[in-house]
């Protein structure tokens, strides 16, 4: 069952085979798999459980209820980068765009060569991907539903002869309400909260929501349970009730920012010194185009199309419509100029270009901020700034090929591109990191990375930590390097793989 704050009147003591911290792309699949094998599973989730009735296409309400810090999580460095993180049952999958891509093939080779992860084979991953794609109803976005913005952008890309297409998404019978990142109002998007979690509950797993873990119980050096406390969902303040769960296996699946933060605060599993290091994200630039005819955003599928012509060079275009209140933030103007542009919102398209293979690395640190908040340090390096500029130029070229009258970029000195001459000027410019007006990033990864060497990694290929037997980490933090695409499918595949090892451990095979 899913236990809400209203159901908690006193402290909770439980024992289970497995306790999982977090119910996102790692924790949800693990809960389903292990409960399906007959193990008793308890999940501790800090966020609230929402259903499709609650998803009312209100961006601000979604930010304040389902995102960490009301979607104000920002990396510290140059530039400041907005890094949205989910805090709800289903984790970030509940508020992502639903893109469900397999990892780029060369990445696994890199994992083998650089991280010694030869136990993870392509055949095994492909089987897991196929299973997940079936389970999550993954199929290509329907061009009829995708909306005019996506269709227009792809027309432009095709005119330029670029490799492009429709993104595979974990959505069934999607009708394009333009609001995936605020929670799918029709139940089409098969995020963890509507796919894995209901199955896990049917299998007998218990989810304690509004519950923050604050410790891992150790017995003879092995993980033996979790302690935590219940919090008010809005203020994050303790309600006074605690939870104490004894378990044979503990799984930390709080995401690539909060899993290392949890470990750093408690000094756990960090003999390698790698916890919190190696933070990888996918920084993204948004380019807005103005047309003479309506594109009718945001109706359609917000992220339905891609251009992957330059994926080998670390650039992937995926886009991209947003409601007016978010769109207004992408225009680098103010006053009457901003207002008159916003009146042309129906004629505007927006697309995103992400640096999907970064040279830059960041770090999650415990800097004693108020409340339960880590600091993410991240500095965009020169090579990635160049990629961000290339992505911006490419998107502008595509928009013009599609018939745009004007393009608006987030590059200072090049905000308004009115034709080939301006575009050439942007292309020739030596864009500096400080020229970026605003940047967002997605898919934090790598902060408790997996590897074959305990001196350079935090977990084994099984996701068990090197330092603490029976403590597993399974979320984006274990992915050792960017998969080159949106990582949710890869995280889920590794979670199902991890469940197999835990099954072996609990069944006495190891």
Q: Which of residues 370-429 bind other proteins (CB under 8 A)?
A: 370-371, 373, 412-413, 415
71 or 448: CB nearest other proteins:
71
- Residues 135 to 164 in contact with other proteins, rule: CB under 8 A: 135, 137
Shortest CB 117 distance to other proteins, Å: 19
Residue 295 CA to residue 350 CA, distance in Å, equals 10
74 or 401: CB nearest other proteins:
74
| Binding map of other proteins across residues 298-337, x = CB under 8 A, - = no contact | xx-----------------------xxxxxxx--xxxxxx
CB atoms within 10 A of CB 503: 18
**474 secondary structure, DSSP code:** -
**Binding-site member from 105, 109, 232, 369 for other proteins (CB under 8 A):** 369
Q: Are strands 206-208 and 41-44 parallel, antiparallel or unpaired?
A: parallel
Residue 27 CA to residue 42 CA, distance in Å, equals 10
Residue 474 CA to residue 478 CA, distance in Å, equals 6
Q: Using the rule CB under 8 A, is 367 a contact of other proteins?
A: no
Q: Using the rule CB under 8 A, is 220 a contact of other proteins?
A: no
**DSSP-H helix ranges across 147-189:** 148-159
333 or 361: CB nearest other proteins:
333
Contact 148/294 with Cβ under 8 angstroms? yes
137 or 361: CB nearest other proteins:
137
Residue 445 CA to residue 361 CA, distance in Å, equals 10
Of 449, 117, 441, 442, give the one whose Cα is nearest residue 276: 449
What are 306's strand-pairing partners? Answer: 165, 318
Contact 364/447 with Cβ under 8 angstroms? yes
267 or 370: CB nearest other proteins:
370
Q: Are strands 206-208 and 2-3 parallel, antiparallel or unpaired?
A: parallel
**Binding-site member from 368, 434, 508, 509 for other proteins (CB under 8 A):** 434
**Binding-site member from 9, 10, 161, 234 for other proteins (CB under 8 A):** 234
Contact partners, residue 194, CB within 8 Å, separation at least 6: 52, 90, 184, 187
149 or 247: CB nearest other proteins:
149
Region near other proteins per CB under 8 A, out of 76-84, 154-162, 251-259, 458-466: 76-84
Shortest CB 146 distance to other proteins, Å: 16
- Residues 6 to 35 in contact with other proteins, rule: CB under 8 A: none
Alpha-carbon separation of residue 341 from 25, 182, 406 (angstroms): 38, 25, 11
Indicate the angle between helix axes 382-401 and 420-428, nearest 10 degrees: 170
Residue 67 CA to residue 373 CA, distance in Å, equals 13
Q: Which two tokens stand for residue 464?
A: 């068990």
178 or 314: CB nearest other proteins:
178
**Binding-site member from 14, 37, 59, 405 for other proteins (CB under 8 A):** 59
Q: Using the rule CB under 8 A, is 509 a contact of other proteins?
A: no
- Residues 271 to 300 in contact with other proteins, rule: CB under 8 A: 294, 296-299
40 or 73: CB nearest other proteins:
73
Q: Using the rule CB under 8 A, is 51 a contact of other proteins?
A: no
12 or 71: CB nearest other proteins:
71
Shortest CB 181 distance to other proteins, Å: 13
Residue 474 CA to residue 236 CA, distance in Å, equals 24
Q: Which two tokens stand for residue 474?
A: 């399974």
Shortest CB 219 distance to other proteins, Å: 32
Phi-psi region of 413 (alpha: psi -120 to 50; beta: other; left: phi over 0): left
Shortest CB 375 distance to other proteins, Å: 10
Per-position DSSP letters for 166-196, written without gaps between them: EPEEEBSS---BS-GGG--TTS-B--TTTTH
Region near other proteins per CB under 8 A, out of 74-82, 156-164, 240-248, 309-317: 74-82
Region near other proteins per CB under 8 A, out of 56-64, 204-212, 216-224, 242-250: 56-64
Degrees, nearest 5: CA angle 301-306-308: 170
Q: Exposed, middle or buried, 194 (CB in 10 Å: 0-12/13-18/19+)?
A: buried
Q: Which two tokens stand for residue 316?
A: 């992937």
- Residues 106 to 135 in contact with other proteins, rule: CB under 8 A: 123, 127-128, 130-131, 134-135
Residue 73 CA to residue 444 CA, distance in Å, equals 12
- Residues 194 to 213 in contact with other proteins, rule: CB under 8 A: 194-195, 198
| Binding map of other proteins across residues 448-487, x = CB under 8 A, - = no contact | ----------------------------------------
Q: Using the rule CB under 8 A, is 58 a contact of other proteins?
A: yes
234 or 509: CB nearest other proteins:
234
136 or 471: CB nearest other proteins:
136
């Amino acid at each position: 069952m899913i236990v809400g704050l209203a159901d908690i009147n006193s402290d909770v003591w439980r024992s289970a085979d497995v306790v999982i911290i977090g119910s996102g792309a790692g924790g949800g699949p693990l809960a389903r798999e292990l409960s399906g094998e007959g193990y008793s599973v308890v999940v501790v989730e800090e966020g609230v459980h929402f259903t499709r009735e609650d998803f009312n296409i209100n961006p601000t309400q979604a930010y304040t209820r389902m995102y960490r810090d009301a979607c104000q999580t920002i990396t510290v460095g140059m530039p400041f980068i907005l890094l949205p993180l989910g805090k709800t049952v289903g984790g970030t999958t509940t508020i992502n765009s639903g893109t469900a891509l397999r990892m780029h093939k060369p990445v696994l080779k890199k994992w083998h060569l650089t991280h010694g992860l030869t136990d993870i084979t392509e055949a095994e991953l492909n089987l897991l991907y196929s299973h997940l794609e079936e389970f999550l109803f993954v199929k290509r976005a329907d061009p009829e539903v995708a909306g005019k913005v996506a269709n227009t952008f792809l027309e432009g890309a095709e005119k330029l002869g670029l490799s492009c297409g429709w993104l595979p998404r974990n959505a069934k019978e999607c009708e394009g309400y333009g609001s995936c990142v605020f929670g799918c109002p029709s139940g089409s998007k098969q995020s963890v909260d509507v796919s894995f979690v209901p199955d896990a509950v049917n299998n007998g797993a218990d989810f304690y929501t509004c519950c923050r873990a604050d410790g891992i119980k150790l017995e003879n050096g092995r993980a033996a349970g979790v302690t935590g406390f219940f919090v008010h969902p809005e203020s994050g303040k303790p309600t006074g009730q605690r939870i104490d769960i004894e378990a044979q296996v503990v799984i930390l699946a709080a995401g690539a920012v909060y899993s290392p933060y949890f470990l750093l605060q408690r000094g756990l599993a960090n003999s390698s010194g790698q916890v919190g290091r190696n933070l990888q994200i996918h920084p993204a630039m948004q380019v807005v185009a103005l047309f003479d005819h309506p594109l009718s955003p945001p109706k359609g599928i917000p992220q339905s199309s891609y251009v992957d012509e330059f994926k080998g060079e670390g650039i992937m275009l995926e886009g991209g419509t947003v409601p007016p209140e978010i769109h207004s933030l992408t225009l680098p103007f103010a006053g009457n100029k901003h207002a008159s542009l916003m009146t042309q919102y129906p004629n505007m398209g927006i697309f995103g270009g992400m640096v999907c293979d970064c040279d830059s690395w960041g770090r999650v640190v415990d800097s004693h901020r108020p409340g339960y908040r880590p600091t993410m340090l991240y500095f965009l390096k020169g090579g990635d700034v160049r990629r961000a500029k290339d992505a911006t130029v490419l998107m502008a070229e595509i928009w013009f090929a599609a018939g745009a009258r004007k393009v608006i970029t987030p590059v200072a000195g090049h905000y308004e591109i009115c034709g080939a001459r301006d575009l050439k000027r942007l292309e020739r410019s030596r864009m500096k990191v400080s020229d970026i007006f605003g940047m967002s990033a997605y898919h934090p990864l790598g902060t408790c990375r997996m590897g074959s060497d305990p001196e350079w990694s935090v977990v084994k290929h099984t996701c068990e930590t090197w330092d603490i037997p029976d403590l597993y980490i399974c979320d984006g933090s274990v992915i050792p390097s960017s998969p080159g695409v949106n990582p949710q499918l890869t995280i889920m595949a590794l979670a199902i793989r991890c469940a197999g090892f835990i099954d072996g451990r609990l069944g006495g095979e190891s």
